[in-house]
Amino acid sequence: MTQQHTRRLTKIELIRMRKRLTLASKIRRILKDRLSILVMEFLSIARETIEAKQTMLDDFSGAYRSLSITAGYHGYLALGKELAGAERELEIVSGSRNIAGARVPVLEMKDSGKKDGYSQTDTSAYLDRTSQLAEKCLNAIVTLAELQTTMEILGKEINRTKRIVNALEYKVIPNLEETIRFLTMKFEERDREEKARLKRVKVILEQKEANA
């Protein structure tokens, strides 16, 4: 900092810098707490995602085995006709929830209220079981999509918060502290010089009065 710049600064500006330092320190503390929450939530969601992936794989495996048994019982042509008649629209309802200030999705497969379109009298319990497992697979896909999207959002929010914390911790706050130390030293030096000057003036005045 140049001497010209130092002369332009006043003690009021020094007080403002100290307030900025206090505010920056508070923001850093709040963001660090938020970062801890985000990381804990991210790790929790990551564990849920691993479990959801395994659940989905198990569901698909079970559905495939059931479909093979059903196809063997009914025959592929007859089964294909029944499944074609059982087609229905899939509707997913989306919402959101708040995790430490980050909005993450909530997905749910909506029940259309329509029953399976295949004939209940001409088919077997195998087809019913396969239909149930297929719906279970769809729910597993929706659950996994929700978790993976949540992880992606939290990951981005963690990185963004880290960047802000690092900027405060390693740039903004140290720069403010250094400037405050420098200005405090300069103002203290100026005060000492002013006191010394006043003392000299006082001595001179006293000498003049003694000689008068």
- Contact between 146 and 106 (Cβ < 8 Å): yes
Percent of the chain scored above 90 by pLDDT?
49
Phi/psi of residue 10, nearest 5 degrees: -120, 170
E strands present in the chain: 91-99, 102-110
The identity of residue 36, as a single letter, is S
- Write out pLDDT tens, residues 170-182: 999 999 999 898 8
* CB neighbour list of residue 39: distance below 8 Å, 6 or more residues apart: 158
Phi/psi of residue 102, nearest 5 degrees: -100, 130
Q: What is the pLDDT of residue 57?
A: 95
- What is the spatial distance between Cα 158 and Cα 153, in angstroms, rounded to a whole number? 9
Q: What is the pLDDT of residue 125?
A: 80
The identity of residue 171, as a single letter, is K
Whole-prediction pTM value? 0.75
| Coil, helix or strand at residue 95 | strand
91 beta partners: 110
- Write out pLDDT tens, residues 135-163: 899 999 999 999 999 999 999 999 999 99
Structure tokens, 157? 């929010």
List, in order of start, the domains of the chain with CATH numbers. 3-211 (1.10.287.3240)
Ranges in the chain, pLDDT < 50: 1-7
Q: What is the pLDDT of residue 27?
A: 96
Q: What is the pLDDT of residue 115?
A: 52
Q: What is the pLDDT of residue 7?
A: 46
